[in-house]
Chain A
């Protein structure tokens, strides 16, 4: 089965968001999907739109930039810089939503594997609570429930 778990989002402190999810795959594959441009294009937008551009310069100090055309017809872009890279285990990078350029966050991805399954966590550290709250608000772009139903159908048809 493809469905391995549920994304769990918690707010450990006023300025953080923690996302946790388990995958039925070894960590090097999750890392590969997370860092390879042509693979990022296939999952990063979820059901919110299409990823139109992915740039990844995977080295400390290197930049990344993702652009998505949202279903509603507007473009959103994010960029950042890699700060720490431990292949298959840990990736620290900055993240800026270009619609809100003051709100730079620091994202820490960690991957831990047990029995061929990988637990992924992303800790998003914002500079202040206002930025964090705005970030969460951005998840509210319409029609999520319908999109979920559509996703399920797509996933089934791909198998």
Chain B
């Protein structure tokens, strides 16, 4: 099935599980490519390919240190994704808050079979 290019935006970029793994690994702090290769258990060219996609949509930044390339997460570019999920989360939160009220009521009615006395 046709889908948008992986480089189109942050949403497409994180749709790939390996790239989410990379972001998870970088969440704890910046890391050189070799670290990521070890952590993910992938060949270096594959890791580099994923990193290139992440960089193109601004999800990671890179700096040179000697002969190493060090990557880090760019939190700001994750915000649209966070916001997107948060609005959905909120509508469930509303439902569940109502459910809480209802359950309190049900518990009140059910006290008779629990041996509680007035």
Q: Which residues of A are in contact with B by a Cβ distance under 8 Å?
A: 2-11, 13-14, 17, 19, 21, 23-25, 29-30, 32-33, 39, 42-48, 128-130, 133, 136-141, 144-145, 147-148, 151-152, 155, 158-159
A8-B94 contact given A13-B17, A24-B100, A39-B102, CB 8 Å threshold: no
Is B39 an interface position by the 8 A CB rule?
A: no
- Check B106 against A2 for contact (C-beta < 8 Å): no
- The number of A-B residue pairs with CB atoms under 8 Å apart is 110
Is B118 an interface position by the 8 A CB rule?
A: no
Contact code string B97-118 (vs A, CB < 8 Å = 1, else 0) = 1111111101100100000000
- Check A139 against B88 for contact (C-beta < 8 Å): yes
CB < 8 Å neighbour of A8 from B15, B89, B107: B89
- In the complex, the chain B residue whose C-beta lies closest to that of A145 is B90
- Chain B binding surface SS class: helix
- Check B94 against A9 for contact (C-beta < 8 Å): no
CB<8 Å pairs between A and B, sample of 24: A2-B101, A2-B104, A4-B100, A7-B92, A9-B92, A10-B85, A21-B92, A25-B106, A25-B107, A29-B110, A30-B103, A33-B102, A39-B102, A43-B98, A43-B101, A46-B94, A46-B95, A46-B98, A47-B94, A48-B91, A48-B94, A139-B90, A139-B92, A144-B91
